[in-house]
Structure 1
């Protein structure tokens, strides 16, 4: 009888878990974004920018939204780390690609990197959210300008859910909207990528 009750309790209280990769070129603001998500959803103060070091491996943040848990994986953006990103595609439920809107010199490199991600078979069907970060800085490329650069490869996204949103990870502008968009897409994509139950 205890086993039946225990099993029923576990079934009723189990939680959907999703895994979201945060990737992009180095210095795009991925870890600053993760810190802002922690501040918004966990109530912990975000690390000041001068204390955020380049990510060498992986930073993780777990956030509970409604009855689900989202595990954010912030992976290093240095060129020699790009090859390990593909190891996570089969386990994740969505990809957040962060673009440094002020780094006009590397926008083509950014586009090529993004194209490699969406062309990987293991990333097929994943919702992809592109965040045009550092919109608080004067002279940053606007979302329309970034879309124009990436439009050439947009057709390769196929029918999957994708969006480009402006944010300032440093100031927090647009971060809530980005997470809201992600959460809705994770829920809609359950058939293609079912959640893990814990």
Structure 2
């Protein structure tokens, strides 16, 4: 009877584990975000921003929520490291793409990389969260401005493709890609919006087609 009750208790209290990858350009604040998540959700505070170095390879963090464990993989964003991102696509349950809303000079580069992530067949239908980071800075673009900037960048890209190669926009294909996309503003430094982002991930991974 003891073993039966113990087994029942373990079954009722078991937590399902989901993997979330955090990607984006170098300097966007990915590791700062992960360390802030650790501080907010674990007993061991994450690293302070002044002790965070550029990620070469990956960092991992795990948090426990009701009935769920979220395992975060923070992947380096330098140009030479982005080539390994695709190795994590097959096993992830959600993707977080962090954009530096303050660094306007690198927005086009960020959108180019973001668009390549969107086109990856492995993450079709996987929850995708675009985080406009550094909202604590008065120079940062708002969430709405980030949305508009990406849409304008994408429109110019399509027009360029039509002129150069005669390619037409595949409306249905793009709609499938962005169906699971949401955009939120955060300050990884101050923690503003981080809990809302984690709540979004918690809800979406439960309903993800990849389980």
Aligned to 2:144: 144
1:183 aligns with 2:202: yes
Larger Rg: 2
Residues 47-56 or 146-155, more deviating: 146-155
8 Å CA contact 2:13–2:67 kept in 1: the answer is no
Gaps of 5+ in 1: none
CA distance in 1, matches of 2:175, 2:196: 22
2:76 is matched with 76
User: Distance between the aligned counterparts of 1:44 and 1:157, measured in 2?
Assistant: 41
Residue 157 of structure 1, CA deviation: 5.1
Q: CA deviation at 1:188?
A: 1.6
In structure 1, C-alpha distance between the alignment counterparts of 2:138 and 2:72, rounded to whole Å: 29
Displacement of 1:109 in angstroms is 0.5
- For residues 8 and 43 of structure 2, the distance between their equivalents in structure 1, rounded to whole angstroms, comes to 33
Distance 2:3 2:191 in 1: 47
Instruction: Confirm or deny: 8 A CA contact 1:38 1:61 kept in the other structure.
Output: yes
Question: RMSD over aligned Cα, in angstroms?
Answer: 2.0
The list of structure 1 runs, each at least 4 consecutive aligned residues, that deviate by more than 6 angstroms after superposition, is 1-6
**Does the CA-based 8 Å contact 2:95-2:128 persist in structure 1?**
yes
- Alpha-carbon deviation of 1:160? 3.1
Report how many aligned residue pairs link the two structures: 192
Corresponding residue for residue 169 of structure 1 = 188
Output the CA distance in 2 between the equivalents of 1:177 and 1:68.
16
Query: d(CA) in 2 for partners of 1:127 and 1:3?
Result: 39
How far did 1:104 drift? Answer: 0.5
Between the aligned partners of 2:90 and 2:179, the Cα distance in structure 1 is 16
CA distance in 1, matches of 2:8, 2:195: 35
- On the 8 A contact 1:127/1:185 being kept in 2, the answer is yes
Q: For residues 1-198 of structure 1, what are the structure 2 equivalents within 5 Å?
A: 8=8, 10-151=10-151, 153=154, 156=174, 158=176, 160-189=179-208, 192-194=209-211
**Higher mean displacement: 155-164 or 99-108:** 155-164
